[in-house]
Amino acid sequence: MKNVFNKDTALEIVYVGAGAVAGKIAGDKIYDQLKDKVDATGKFEPYIKGAIPLLVGLFLPSLAGSSKAVRGIANGMIASGASTVVGSLLKTAGVPGVGNVMMGNVMMGNYHGYAGTDSSDLGNDTFMGAPAQGSDDYSATSYDFTSADAGEMDY
pLDDT tens digits, one per residue of 91-139: 888 887 665 544 444 444 444 444 444 444 444 444 455 555 554 444 4
Contacts of range 105-112, beta carbons closer than 8 Å, 24 or more positions apart = 110/135
CA–CA distance, 142 with 151 (Å, rounded to integer): 13
User: 59-90: b or e for each residue (b if 16 or more CB lie within 10 Å)?
Assistant: ebeeeeeeeebbbbbbbbbbbbbbbbbeebee
CA 47 to chain centre: 15
The pLDDT confidence band at residue 4, using thresholds 50, 70 and 90, is confident
140: pLDDT strictly greater than 50: no
**What does the alpha-carbon distance between residue 109 and residue 127 come to, in Å, rounded to a whole number?**
7
